[in-house]
C-alpha cells in the first residue's frame, strides 16, 4: 500500500462499460473503500462529474491516449483493465507505466487484465460441438495456444512483463457475458447496460423478424452473468490483497469466468420464442442462415459467431468465486434484451 495518503491506488479502464461499471460499483461499495484511491478513465466531462459524486477521481481520455494511460498506471498499485481486450498499444502503455512505478518505488504493482475465452475457440462454423474443454488450471495447455489465437497478441506481452518481474499479472477470461446490470453507475446514467455478443444476433433477428442459426447450430460456448463476472474481479482483487503470494499470477494467472454452456441452436430457439411473445414475429422453427444471409448480416464476422469455446473456471472457483446465475438465467435474459433492441429500432 502506498502513495496518496497511504491509500491503495487503483486505476480502472473501461469503468463505465458493461462489466467495468459493475466492477467500479463494487469498489465504491467495498467495505474497505475508504482505504482506496480509485481513478477511472472516462471519455466525457459529463461522466467525469458524475463519477466524482461516487468518490472516484475521473481521468478524461480514451484508450488511444497512450500518454495518459502510462501516466496513470505509473501512479497505481493496481490497474484493472476492462476496456478493449485487443488494444495492444494501450496494454503496452499501461505496462510502461507500471514499469515506471516499479522502478520508482521498488514495489511490484498488480495488473488485472480482461481477456476472453475466445482464445480457445475453433472454426466449427456451427457444424459441431466437438472441442477440447480447457480448464484454467491447465496452464500448459493454454500456453501452447498459437500466438495468432484471439486476444493472445495482448495476453502474451502481459505475461512476458510478469516474467520480467516489474508487474504481477492476472488475466480474467469470461465467456459470453449476459444479464442486467444495476448499481450506482446505472443510477447515474453513465454505464453501458447491455452486452456485446448476443445483441449482434438480436438486432439481425429483429430486422428479419425471425431467429436462425449458423451451420447446424451445434457450436458450444460458455456463458457467465455480468454480476457474477464482476464478482470474480473482486474475489481476485481481495485475494491478491490478503494473500498475494498464494494467488497464481503470470503464466498460471489466467482465470476463466463461466457458469453454463449454450449452443447456437438454443439461442436461436429462445430468441424465436421471445420474438413471438413480443409480437415481433409469427411462430417459427429456426433454420440455418444461407451463405448470402451470413454475408449480408454479419460480413466477415460470422465465423466467430459459430465457433466452439469450451472453458472451465476451476482456478476461479478454487479462489472462492461462486457463479450464482446459470443456464436458466441465460435463457431468461434473452427476452428483455430483445425487447430493448426492438424498442430502440422502433424509435
Boundaries of every domain in the chain: 4-189+223-257, 197-222+261-309+325-341
What is the per-residue pLDDT for 5?
Answer: 58
Q: How far apart are CA 37 and CA 57, in angstroms?
A: 8
- Grid-cell match 467495498, residue found: 30
Q: How far apart are CA 329 and CA 327, in angstroms?
A: 5
At 6 the pLDDT is 86
Rounded CA separation 133/311 (Å)? 6
DSSP 189: T
DSSP assigned state of 252: G
Contact criterion met (CB below 8 Å) for 150 and 116: yes
Q: What pLDDT is recorded for position 3? A: 45
183: left (phi over 0), alpha (psi -120 to 50) or beta: left
Identify the residue whose cell numbers are 457458469: 259
Alpha helices in the chain (DSSP H): 18-28, 45-52, 66-73, 88-105, 139-143, 152-164, 184-187, 197-208, 226-242, 264-277, 291-298, 314-318, 327-332, 334-345
Count other Cβ atoms within 10 Å, centred on residue 192: 16
pLDDT of residue 2: 40
CATH topology of domain 4-189+223-257: Rossmann fold (3.40.50)
Tally the C-alpha atoms within 13 A of residue 285's C-alpha that lie toward its C-beta: 0
Q: What is the pTM of this model?
A: 0.96
Per-residue pLDDT of the chain (347 residues; tens, 9 = 90+): 344 558 999 999 999 999 999 999 999 999 999 999 999 999 999 999 999 999 999 999 999 999 999 999 999 999 999 999 999 999 999 999 999 999 999 999 999 999 999 999 999 999 999 999 999 999 999 999 999 999 999 999 999 999 999 999 999 999 999 999 999 999 999 999 998 889 999 999 999 999 999 999 999 999 999 999 999 999 999 999 999 999 999 999 999 999 999 999 999 999 999 999 999 999 999 999 999 999 999 999 999 999 999 999 999 999 999 999 999 999 999 999 999 999 999 88
Question: How many Cβ atoms from other residues are within 10 Å of residue 64's Cβ?
Answer: 12
3-state secondary structure of 76: coil
What single-letter DSSP state applies at residue 77?
S
CB atoms within 10 A of CB 317: 18
Q: Are 10 and 109 in contact (CB under 8 A)?
A: no
Q: Specify whether the CB–CB gap between 344 and 162 falls below 8 A.
A: no
Question: Contact, 295 vs 233, CB < 8 A?
Answer: no
Amino acid at each position: 500500500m502506498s502513495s496518496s495518503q497511504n491509500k491503495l491506488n487503483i486505476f480502472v479502464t473501461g469503468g463505465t462499460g458493461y462489466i467495468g461499471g459493475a466492477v467500479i460499483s463494487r469498489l465504491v461499495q467495498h467495505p474497505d473503500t475508504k482505504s482506496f484511491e480509485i481513478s477511472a478513465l472516462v471519455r466525457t466531462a459529463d461522466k467525469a462529474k458524475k463519477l466524482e459524486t461516487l468518490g472516484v477521481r475521473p481521468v478524461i481520455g480514451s484508450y488511444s491516449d497512450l500518454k495518459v494511460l502510462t501516466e496513470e498506471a505509473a501512479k497505481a498499485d493496481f490497474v484493472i483493465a476492462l476496456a478493449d481486450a485487443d488494444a495492444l498499444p494501450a496494454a503496452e502503455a499501461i505496462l510502461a507505466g507500471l514499469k515506471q512505478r516499479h522502478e520508482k518505488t521498488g514495489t511490484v504493482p498488480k495488473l488485472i487484465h480482461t481477456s476472453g475465452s475466445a482464445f480457445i475457440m475453433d472454426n466449427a462454423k456451427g457444424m459441431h460441438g466437438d472441442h477440447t474443454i480447457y480448464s484454467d488450471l491447465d496452464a500448459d495447455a493454454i500456453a501452447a495456444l498459437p500466438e495468432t489465437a484471439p486476444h493472445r497478441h495482448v495476453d502474451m506481452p502481459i505475461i512476458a512483463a510478469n516474467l520480467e518481474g516489474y508487474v504481477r499479472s492476472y488475466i480474467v477470461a469470461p465467456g459470453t457475458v449476459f444479464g442486467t446490470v444495476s448499481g450506482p453507475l446505472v443510477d447515474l446514467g453513465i454505464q453501458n447496460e447491455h452486452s456485446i455478443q448476443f445483441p449482434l444476433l438480436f438486432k439481425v433477428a429483429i430486422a428479419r423478424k425471425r431467429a436462425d442459426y449458423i451451420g447446424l447450430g451445434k457450436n458450444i460456448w460458455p456463458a457467465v452473468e455480468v454480476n457474477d463476472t464482476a464478482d470474480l474481479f473482486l474475489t481476485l482483487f481481495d485475494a491478491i490483497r490478503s494473500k498475494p503470494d498464494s494467488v497464481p499470477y503470470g503464466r498460471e494467472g489466467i482465470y476463466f469466468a463461466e457458469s453454463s454452456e449454450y449452443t447456437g441452436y438454443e439461442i436461436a430457439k429462445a430468441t424465436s420464442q421471445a420474438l413471438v411473445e413480443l409480437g415481433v414475429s409469427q411462430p417459427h422453427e429456426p433454420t440455418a442462415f444461407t451463405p448470402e444471409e451470413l454475408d449480408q448480416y454479419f460480413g466477415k464476422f460470422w465465423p466467430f459467431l459459430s465457433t466452439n469455446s469450451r472453458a472451465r473456471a476451476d482456478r476461479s472457483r478454487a479462489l472462492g468465486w461462486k457463479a450464482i446465475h446459470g443456464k436458466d438465467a441465460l435463457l431468461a435474459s434473452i427476452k428483455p434484451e430483445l425487447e430493448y433492441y426492438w424498442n430502440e429500432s422502433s424509435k
